Amino acid sequence: MAMLEKAAAQVGGTIDDRFGAAGWIKKTARKVFPDHWSFMLGEIALYSFIILLLTGTFLTLWFQPSQSEVVYHGAYTPLQGLKMSQAYESTLRISFDVRGGLIMRQIHHWAALIFVSAMVVHLCRIFFTGAFRKPRETNWIIGTILLTLALIEGLAGYSLPDDLLSGTGLRITEGVLLSLPLVGTYLSYFLFGGQFPGDDLIARLYTAHVLLIPGIFLALITVHVMLVWYQKHTQYPLPGRTEKNAVGYPFFPVYTAKAGGFFFITFGVTALLSSVATINPIWLFGPYKPGEVSDGTQPDWYMGFLEGSLRMMPPWEIRAWGYTVPMNVLVPALIVPGFMFTALGLYPFIERWVTGDDREHHILDRPRNVPTRTGLGVLAISFWLILLAGGANDLFAITFHLSINSITRAFQVLIIVIPPISYVVTKRICLGLQRRDREKVLHGRETGIIQRLPDGEMIEVHEPISDTEKWMLTQHLSRRPLELEPDTDDNGIPRRRLLLSKARARVSRFYFEDRVEPPTPAEVREIETSGHH
Amino acid sequence: MSEHTHTDAAGVEHVESADAAAAVQEEHAGAIVARDEHGEIETHYANPGLAPHIYRRSDIDKTAAQRREREVATLFGLSTIGTLIFLVSYFVFKPADKQGNSNQLLSTVHYSTLGLGLGMGLALFCIGAGAIHWAKTLMPDDEIVQERHPMHSSAEERAGAVEALKEGAAGAGLGRRKLIRNSLLGAMAPLGLLALVPLRDLGPLPGASLAYTAWRKGVRLVSDPSRNPIKAEEVPIGGVVHVMPEGIDKMPNPLDEEAKAAAIVIRLAPDELHERPDRRGWDYNGIVCYSKICTHVGCPVGLYEQQTHHLLCPCHQSTFDVTHNCEVVFGPAGRPLPQLKISVDSEGYLVADQDFQEPVGPSYWFRGEN
Ligand code: HEM
Ligand code: FES
């Protein structure tokens, strides 16, 4: 032990002599990290990204990003003698000839799925607990960009092997680009280097997939994590936590061991999963040929919502003045996702505008205490989930022996009906839970024991709750709708930007009209002294 | 014992007891009802302060701590075994030796992947599990409290920053030297062109290339992928043949041509054919030929249902009725599949009479209204 300490002192000295780092090291080693299982979701995304970097680099050692045609003479006999691109041939080689190639491919692909999934769940955690509020809006924006880029990165990677399945995905990409008014054909010709499929695309996707987008990822993820560090992590409203402190474990050694350990666990689980669960067996699909298609094609799950969106759109096309606007493609594949991601990125600013709240928030919300936000979140999720499910309408049809037509019709109805219903129901549930919290503070916990009073009345015995619990159930802000300011100011001069402030008052009412006040200590005391339970 | 530390502005660490901290918070919190400028009510019970520290078995019981230590070491040991499994699998399973027999190849690849993955998974997972077990059971688990300061700087500091910027701007004379400012803006604004213009050669301009395919008058229909010409009388009623134009493989960009020219030939019984009046004679004895490229976003429409004579696109289930000019009967496609006018040549083989009369595949702005 003494030796270890001596070594540490020596290394520390060497570093400090050159970088004057002692102060920084001391502060960093003791820096506090609040702990909660839900804070691991972002970590999973980060670690999956590192796994993708490592396994992806391994794949680049053999992968040939080229659409030049070759005739297959490799190990896998069913494809013997077939014409295919070098990209497809080299992916076969990685799978069959390079030892460890297939496990690396499968880890890479599973890690990509886990990466996007972790980001989505992480985003939900941030949203429902209000962790996006001031001062953390920047990280919300970065997160939105990362998620958008991840979809593009995934599509690019999935297309690299140039098999029949991924080629079909590229064909759909071409169709979607073409739908853009005026510029569509140009964009498509610039992307593909001419007509579809051309000879350039795989090489271009490769540059984007291994250099451009990972580079942007690396930069953005670095800023994201540095901001978490610098602004300190949020914390849940637990005893001892306030807006003015951070409570948790020190970076060194506890957090280092937990977070570092969790990286290995994430990598280990991904490897175990990839050893037993085959993913993307491209040798079964065959090389891409424009005239062929395999049925039951399914993209990676994170693209499913676009697939569903394309499937449930009615066949509307606008043809006028000699031009065509295929609304049946433009709306579901570009306008809907464009709207979804824009709304996502803007949400913190919308809420800030509605509340007019300019303070910093480091204590997280319990979702029930912000019913409208929680309701809107569930609305968005239900919309997205129905699109995702719509992408599997053929699987539903086969599994439940229903006609694909009626399933698609059902989805067309559900996508309009379910989101508003989810909003209303969620908000009701939140308000109900808040009411229950209020009851608990005022009257204590229900015990289930029924007592008969001398006058014959039956009552349920309530057990008082601790002060700690009372604090936990009442510590949140309960916002009220903004009051509309008078149309004219004190001097009778009409206010500027009247319409905007009216709109704001209206949205504020939408947000905060239905509310349950947490009881004040005074209320509780009054009830207690008046002899109620 | 629940001490906590916080670092003050000068970087000095203070250690206080939790009780003292709770007392301070009480002053702020208390049972007060206040309304801020936004009409929000702040209603607070006093924050009760950190819960008392609960000691773990391993904190108080030495043998328990030793047991935890052994558990951590076991996990690390398992990791080493995982690495061994990985190495052994790498040298035992050599898929490349199994050339020529696809079943043997697949099973060797399967075992190789299984062994490598399990070994690697075990090696990594156990390191992680060991580290976390170590942190949770043996490292100190006292919660530490650190102060959080508002992100914004003090008023003086801000004023200083504004001052520094003003001074800098004044030094550069940005306000006074309009000529420099404007010419600099004029120089910066078009810089984007340096990046944009060279991208012009990413691809050729589309021109009319999307509107034409490799089909011409007299070009034979050959089956895909075997490339055999098709005698009309060899197509039975209800028969289906996927076709390409003859000679497509010798064209400059065969895949680009296939992506537009792919077509499907179907023979209907005479009473099943409901031709549009302006397309009378586009079939040959009930044999019709339609583009196979879906008018939705371009997947090949590969599924033919014999009973209903429907062509189904597997991508988003657009359904086209072959008996009625391939009009859309279901799904998101906005237009019927284009029809190819066919007849037979002197030897009785099916040939095209002309190219498609409208662009095949997905719709786009410049495709016109037809
Ligand atoms: C950061 C997010 C990333 C995502 C979401 C992602 C996703 C994917 C996916 C889904 C595939 C198809 C795999 C398959 O064959 O089944 C793929 C292939 C590939 N990726 Fe990535 N990837 C990422 C990062 C990287 C990085 C950083 C590199 C290299 C430095 C890389 C290199 C490759 C290569 C070479 C292939 C083609 C080889 C093959 O498919 O066998 N990827 N990627
Ligand atoms: S491409 Fe055929 S239905 Fe979408």
Q: What is the mean pLDDT of residues A124-139?
A: 97
Half-sphere exposure of B366 (CA within 13 A, CB side): 13
pLDDT value at position B359? 96
Residue B193 placed within a domain: no
B333 CB less than 6 Å from ligand 2? yes
Q: How many angstroms separate the alpha carbon of residue A108 from the centre of ligand 1?
A: 6
Ligand 2 nearest-atom number relative to CA B298: 1
Amino acid making up residue A423: Y
- Which CATH number is B224's domain given? 2.102.10.10
Residue B204 placed within a domain: no
Q: Flag if B262 and A185 touch (Cβ within 8 Å).
A: no
Task: Supply angle C-alpha A206, A56, B103, rounded to 5.
Answer: 100
Distances (CA, A) of A474 to A355, A420, A468, B27, B196: 20, 29, 10, 17, 57
Q: What is the mean pLDDT of residues A325-354?
A: 97
Q: What percent of chain B has pLDDT over 70?
A: 87
B322 CB less than 6 Å from ligand 2? no
Q: Which residues of B touch A240 (CB under 8 A)?
A: 18, 21-22, 47-51, 143, 145
- Of the three residues B120, B137, B154, the one that is the final residue of a domain is B137
Interhelix angle A256-276/A101-129, rounded to 10 degrees, is: 130
Q: Residues B45, B62: one domain?
A: no
Residue B342 placed within a domain: yes
By the 8 A CB rule, do A201 and A290 touch?
no
Q: Residues B44, B72: one domain?
A: no
Q: Which residues of B touch A291 (CB under 8 A)?
A: 224-225, 242, 244, 258-259, 262, 292, 300
Q: Residues B99, B8: one domain?
A: no
> pLDDT digits over B55-108, tens only?
999 999 999 999 999 999 999 999 999 999 999 999 999 876 766 688 889 999
Neighbours of B135 (CB within 10 A): 23
Q: Residues B99, B21: one domain?
A: no
Nearest-CA residue for atom 32 of ligand 1: A56
Residue B172 placed within a domain: no
Ligand 1 pocket at CB < 6 A: A 49, 52-53, 56-57, 59-60, 63, 91, 94, 105, 108-109, 112, 115, 150, 153-154, 157-158, 160-161, 209-210, 214, 217, 280
pLDDT value at position A262? 98
Q: What is the mean pLDDT of residues B294-299?
A: 96
Q: Flag if A172 and B369 touch (Cβ within 8 Å).
A: no
Neighbours of A266 (CB within 10 A): 25
Ligand 1 nearest-atom number relative to CA A279: 16
Residue B324 placed within a domain: yes
> pLDDT digits over A50-104, tens only?
999 999 999 999 999 999 999 999 889 999 999 999 999 999 999 999 999 999 9
pLDDT value at position B254? 95
Q: Which of A315-329, A377-391, A444-458, B25-39 has the lowest mean pLDDT?
A: B25-39
Least CB-CB distance to B203: which of A193, A242, A471? A193
Q: Residues B248, B336: one domain?
A: yes
Q: Residues B226, B350: one domain?
A: yes
pLDDT value at position B30? 37
Q: Residues B132, B15: one domain?
A: no
- Of the three residues B116, B137, B158, the one that is the final residue of a domain is B137
Nearest CA to CA, how far is B177 from chain A (Å)? 35
Enter the tokens of residue A358.
């300019």
Length of chain B in residues, anyone?
A: 370
Q: Does the model's pTM come out above 0.95?
A: no
Q: Which residues of B touch A247 (CB under 8 A)?
A: 4, 50, 143-146
Dist CA B2 CA B16 (whole Å): 9
Q: Residues B95, B233: one domain?
A: no
Dist CA B256 CA B82 (whole Å): 49
> pLDDT digits over A268-279, tens only?
999 999 999 999
Q: Residues B247, B279: one domain?
A: yes
Q: Residues B78, B45: one domain?
A: no
Nearest CA to CA, how far is B306 from chain A (Å)? 17
Suggest the residue from B24, B86, B125 to mutate for an interface test with chain A (most A CBs closer than 10 A).
B125
Number of domains within chain B: 3
B318 CB less than 6 Å from ligand 2? yes
Residue B284 placed within a domain: yes
Q: Residues B94, B224: one domain?
A: no
Cα dihedral A48→A51→A53→A56 (10° resolution) = -110
Structural domains for chain A: 37-282 (1.20.810.10), 431-529 (no CATH)
> pLDDT digits over B202-254, tens only?
999 999 999 999 999 999 999 998 999 999 999 999 899 999 999 999 999 99
Q: What is the mean pLDDT of residues B299-308?
A: 91
Q: Which helix (H) or strand (E) holds A324?
A: strand A323-325
Owner of token pair 């997205």? A384
- Beta strand B287-291 pairing with B303-305: unpaired
Query: Which positions ≥6 away from A210 have C-beta within 8 Å?
Result: A56, A60
Task: Give the domain range for residue B24.
Answer: 1-49
Q: Flag if B364 and A96 touch (Cβ within 8 Å).
A: no
**Nearest one of A462, A500, A472 to A484, comparing CA atoms:** A500
Question: What does residue A405 show for φ and ψ, rounded to 5 degrees?
Answer: -65, -50
Q: What percent of chain B has pLDDT over 90?
A: 77
Nearest-CA residue for atom 40 of ligand 1: A161
> pLDDT digits over A225-267, tens only?
999 999 999 999 999 999 999 999 999 999 999 999 999 999 9
- Of the three residues B137, B171, B197, the one that is the final residue of a domain is B137
Q: Which helix (H) or strand (E) holds A50?
A: helix A40-60
Q: How many angstroms separate the alpha carbon of residue A92 from the centre of ligand 1?
A: 15
Interhelix angle A371-390/A498-512, rounded to 10 degrees, is: 80
Residue B25 placed within a domain: yes
DSSP A450: E
Dist CA A493 CA A500 (whole Å): 17
Q: Flag if B334 and A267 touch (Cβ within 8 Å).
A: no
Dist CA A477 CA A237 (whole Å): 12
Q: Residues B117, B254: one domain?
A: no
